[in-house]
Amino acid sequence: MATVMMAAAVCALVGFSCPACGRMAAARARASSVVACAAVAASDDARVIGEHVRLDELSNEQLVRIVRLETTDEETNELAWRCLGYRRGASGAWDASDAFQKFRLKYPQPPDLIGVTRTYSKEIDEPVLRANQALHRSIPMAYKQGLKTQLKPLGFTGFKLANLTPNMTRRAQVTNWLLYYREALHGRTFGDVRRAKDEARQLEEAAAAQGVRAAPTGTSGQHVL
């Protein structure tokens, strides 16, 4: 080992790279990668999702108010943003540092998920539509029926198609995501959720290998994390 290290020092001095030095560099890189991954895993296991969101804010009685149009668009957006991990600072500006990775990278500032302007021209509404769709696609199939299973006992039976508006549709989709968030994400560590996502990915890959077609939405690749 001492001989190899001496050779590496000589190579560095004369500006030459030999196979032994290359192997040592690769080993150091692998070791650094392992240490970095372990640090990330430890950090993920220490971070709890939803520390700044109270569960009573996500009760069925509160969430049904969204689909009953009893909350403002701004209130609905802000609840979803906080659940996504965005934090409002003392200055009133939103910080994405703790937001779920998919949204943090794509939306450094929290996106309008409802359409507060109620303007549906393509140039105004397209970003709203895409953000809402990204949120809705992240809901696993097992939680897609959350509105029916959770809010029907409170009298919500859905919207009549003839009276349906984009605002109503988006409120329903945001509410469905909030129900999923409450049941599957809130109070868990990032590490637990990441491992569950990896397990889901492995099951999807095994199913694909057997010729099973993947669901169009709710896959591990569409997860918010």
Q: Where are the domains of the chain?
A: 2-46, 55-222
Does residue 198 surpass a pLDDT of 60? yes
Q: What is the pLDDT of residue 15?
A: 47
Separation between Cα atoms, residue 102 and residue 114, nearest integer Å: 19
pLDDT at 215: 86
**pTM (predicted TM-score):** 0.80
Torsions phi, psi for 94 (to 5 deg): -90, 140
CB-CB contact of 36 with 52 (8 Å): no
What residues have CB less than 8 Å from 113, skipping those under 6 apart? 76, 77, 80, 128, 131, 132, 135, 170, 174
pLDDT exceeds 50 at position 9: no
Query: If we measure between CA atoms, which residue out of 159, 162, 201, 156 comes closest to residue 179?
Result: 156
If you average pLDDT over every residue of the chain, what do you get? Answer: 87
Q: Is the pLDDT reported for residue 93 higher than 50?
A: yes
Q: Which pLDDT band, with edges at 50, 70 and 90, does 161 fall under?
A: confident
Architecture of domain 55-222: Orthogonal Bundle (1.10)
DSSP summary character for residue 150: I
